[in-house]
Amino acid sequence: MLALPTWAKLGLALIMLLVLSNAMSLLFSGMLHKDKDAIAAAMSILTVGLPVGLIVVALVFGDGGARKLRDMTQQVLNKEVPQAIRENLAHALQFSDAQLTFTTHGYITDYELATKIATSPARTLKFRLELNVRKVNVVFWLSNAGPDQDARALLQKHPAFHTCLLGAEREGYQLNPVVQTMPDHSASGIVFIKSLHEDFLLEPAQRLYFAQDFSFFIRGMLEAAIQHA
């Protein structure tokens, strides 16, 4: 995650190139003239210079800094989370035909999960994921929730939603006490907030755990939405 300006990276690369070139020239010259001292000096330079040169290559060609974090954010929102949700739902026969679509705007992604139950009409769960490096906001849009309501009281009215609330809080999610409302008043949003590890985006294990745990959260909310409909 060391981010250096381009001129600094190029300067490091040029210096290392000169050092290694001189060492190689000294080595070939020593071998040509059978100069043991020159060969020993060249080998000493190369012994230190090659590992340092590899580090410099990593700095010059590596993708670090804010751009790296943006790319990892997109990977979590567009690949890891959808894959975990699909894998989770694929194991449940009633959700085997579920279709997940999403639209991403920077670090915000809107998802729509549609499923068809044989004994009931098709149901759709709409939710939003806002990933800000080490904090995530999750918004579930409920069409039958009125504005200006207490979010906890609203969820506690329905056992299935209340169960999801308790499970989410055990996993570190905090419920925003106020129900949000879409600009067109077509739905109301239940907002959960969770703090993540400071190196969340850079640690595959942290990202995988979040995606898999989040898929269970989504499955629970989908089941609750079906029961509540």
Task: Give the HSE-up count for residue 182: Cα atoms under 13 Å, Cβ half-sphere.
Answer: 15
**What's the whole-model pTM score?**
0.72
How far apart CA 37 and CA 72 sit, in angstroms, is 50
| Domain spans of the chain, in order of start | 6-61, 66-228
Q: What is the pLDDT along the chain (229 residues), one digit of tens a residue?
A: 555 667 777 787 788 888 888 888 888 888 888 888 888 888 888 888 778 777 777 766 665 667 788 889 999 999 999 999 999 988 776 776 788 999 999 999 999 998 876 555 567 889 999 999 999 999 998 875 555 578 888 888 888 889 999 999 999 999 999 888 776 767 778 999 999 998 899 899 999 999 999 999 999 998 888 876 5
Phi/psi zone of residue 133: left (φ > 0), alpha (ψ -120 to 50 degrees), beta?
left
How far apart CA 103 and CA 112 sit, in angstroms, is 9
Residue 14 structure tokens: 């040029």
Residue 175 structure tokens: 């419920």
Q: What is the DSSP string of 216-228?
A: HHHHHHHHHHHHH
